Amino acid sequence: MEIEKVLYCKKCVYPSSSATPLTFDDEGVCSGCRVSEQKEEIDWNERFQKLKELTSEYKNEEGYDILIPVSGGKDSYFQTHIATKELGLKALLVTYHGNNYLPEGEYNLFRMREVFDADHIIVRPSIEILRKMNRLGFRVQGDMNWHVHCGIFSVPIQAAVKYKVPLILWGEHGFMDLGGMHSYNDFVEFTAKYRKEHALRGYDWDDFTDKGLEKLGFEGKYEQLREKDLLWAKYPSDDDIFEIGVRGIYLSNYVDWNGDKNADLMKKLYNWRGSNKEFQRTYRTSSNLDDMHENGIHDYLKFIKVGYGRTTDHCSKDIRAGKMSRSQAIEEVKKRDHVLSDDLKRWLEYVDITEKDFLETCDTFRDPRVWWVQDGEWWKDNLWGDSSSYGKVNLPKHAIQKYVRT
């Protein structure tokens, strides 16, 4: 079977198989790098003035001026710092808690209401429901943390409607930051379309009820979830959104966004804490502290599906920021992107799945653009130029044919 060859950006280390949509220009440079270059031409003082003018229109004598979705991470600290300390806004902080925080992440999260003198709502679904959602997310789409994406992009909007707070301040637009989905000149804002089609990969809460699973052809994967179990995952109606005038803006359109600098500043100002130990699958210790599996086994699934992991993400950001050379990035990717991390054991116990079941299910999600089967092993082309084997195939014979190359 003829397969289009995976290309790698000539500037950063992103592949054309990227989970975040991107394109390549005639020079072999990806759209993420090209959009990142725009930041050098922007007058950020002028942009911040625009933010001041925009937010001043939402100051409220009786209620909250702004709502900020927060995880307790470096970026949500930075968002809240800008809103409360520099813009003088009365903020409502809202968190979706997926139950698997690292200790450092939970320490940071629980300090926010004191540090920023802000009211803070934390929604924590039933642990049994979360276990079921972990299993379903994994089995249906190879993403045990789908519920986290859904909660992050549902709970704050529910709160905005309930407490009548029209303005929501998000951090960076992920698909724009990584893949260059939009220009900085677009001033793109949050939409329900972006939530469903991109952040949630086309799924929604009702797809995880038994009726929804049956409709999608996932009979046998039922977890007896009902609508009443997933109220936290429901997006408000258009009528509710329009009545309040809910609007979500991205801070990265108005300040020169840099995650590492955000972390350094928040450590200095508020004693924000990064991870006490290095992760196996990335060299950064300041990212994704709201889930102990996000930098681990969750990220390993991305490598299984599209052939790269979080080290590629972080290296590409650091190349664009001028902190790392491409050759250094290649060495980091070679060292980390393929690693099956030790947190797998904890997650398997958490959701009551065997390692054999895990590995067999993983293999069903591999992208044929990236992976092929040769002599019972999985192979892929590497960023550094050659091809390598990455372990044995765990598929039945009838499912292997689409991975055989001629």
| Ramachandran angles phi, psi of 88, nearest 5° | 70, 35
Classify strands 377-381 and 371-374 as parallel, antiparallel or unpaired. Answer: antiparallel
Give the H/E segment covering residue 74: helix 74-81
What would the pLDDT profile of 78-121 be if each residue is shown by its tens digit? 999 999 999 999 999 999 999 999 999 999 999 999 999 999 99
User: How far apart, in Å, are the Cα atoms of 191 and each of 28, 102, 152, 249?
Assistant: 31, 30, 14, 10
Q: What is the pLDDT of residue 269?
A: 98
Q: Residue 354 has which token pair?
A: 């065997």
Q: Residue 283 has which token pair?
A: 């060299």
What would the pLDDT profile of 125-153 be if each residue is shown by its tens digit? 999 999 999 999 999 999 999 999 999 99
What would the pLDDT profile of 51-74 be if each residue is shown by its tens digit? 999 999 999 999 999 999 999 999
Q: Which residue has the tokens 């972390």?
A: 263
d(CA 333, CA 169): 33
What would the pLDDT profile of 324-355 be if each residue is shown by its tens digit? 999 999 999 999 999 999 999 999 999 999 99
Query: What sign does the dihedral 312-170-34-368 (CA atoms) show?
Result: positive
Q: What is the pLDDT of residue 97?
A: 99
Calculate what percentage of the chain has a pLDDT beyond 90. 98
d(CA 33, CA 316): 8
Would you say residue 1 has pLDDT above 60?
no
Would you say residue 241 has pLDDT above 60?
yes
What would the pLDDT profile of 15-30 be if each residue is shown by its tens digit? 999 999 999 999 999 9
pLDDT band at residue 2 under the 50/70/90 scheme: low
Would you state the CATH architecture of domain 42-253? 3-Layer(aba) Sandwich (3.40)
Calculate what percentage of the chain has a pLDDT beyond 70. 100
What would the pLDDT profile of 282-311 be if each residue is shown by its tens digit? 999 999 999 999 999 999 999 999 999 999
Mean pLDDT for the stretch of residues 9-17? 98
336: helix, coil or strand?
Answer: helix
Classify strands 119-123 and 371-374 as parallel, antiparallel or unpaired. Answer: unpaired
Cα angle, residue 359 at apex, residues 391 and 385 outer, rounded to 5°: 35
d(CA 375, CA 284): 36
Q: What is the pLDDT of residue 175?
A: 95
Mean pLDDT for the stretch of residues 232-248? 98
Mean pLDDT for the stretch of residues 313-327? 98
Q: What is the pLDDT of residue 368?
A: 96
> E strands of 194-239, at which residues?
none
Give the H/E segment covering residue 356: helix 355-363
Hey, what amino acid is at 189? E
Would you say residue 4 has pLDDT above 90?
no
Q: Residue 338 has which token pair?
A: 């393929």
d(CA 206, CA 165): 26
Classify strands 377-381 and 387-392 as parallel, antiparallel or unpaired. Answer: antiparallel
Residue range(s) of every CATH 3.40.50 domain in the chain: 42-253
End-to-end CA distance of the chain: 6
Q: What is the pLDDT of residue 352?
A: 98
Q: What is the pTM of this model?
A: 0.96
Q: What is the pLDDT of residue 220?
A: 87
The pLDDT mean for the chain works out to 97
Query: What sign does the dihedral 163-87-79-119 (CA atoms) show?
Result: negative
Q: Which residue has the tokens 């679904």?
A: 125
CB within 8 Å of 352: residues ≥ 6 apart: 131
Would you say residue 31 has pLDDT above 60?
yes
Mean pLDDT for the stretch of residues 252-274? 98
- The order of strands in the sheet holding 91-96 is 119-123, 91-96, 66-69, 167-170, 247-250
Q: What is the pLDDT of residue 203?
A: 98
pLDDT band at residue 5 under the 50/70/90 scheme: confident
Mean pLDDT for the stretch of residues 368-372? 96
d(CA 133, CA 333): 30
Which CB contacts under 8 angstroms, 24+ apart, belong to 400-405? 400/373, 402/1, 402/368, 403/366, 403/368, 403/371, 403/372, 403/373, 404/1, 404/372, 404/373, 405/1, 405/3, 405/372
| Tally of residues, the chain | 406
CB 178 within 8 A of CB 316: yes
248: helix, coil or strand?
Answer: strand
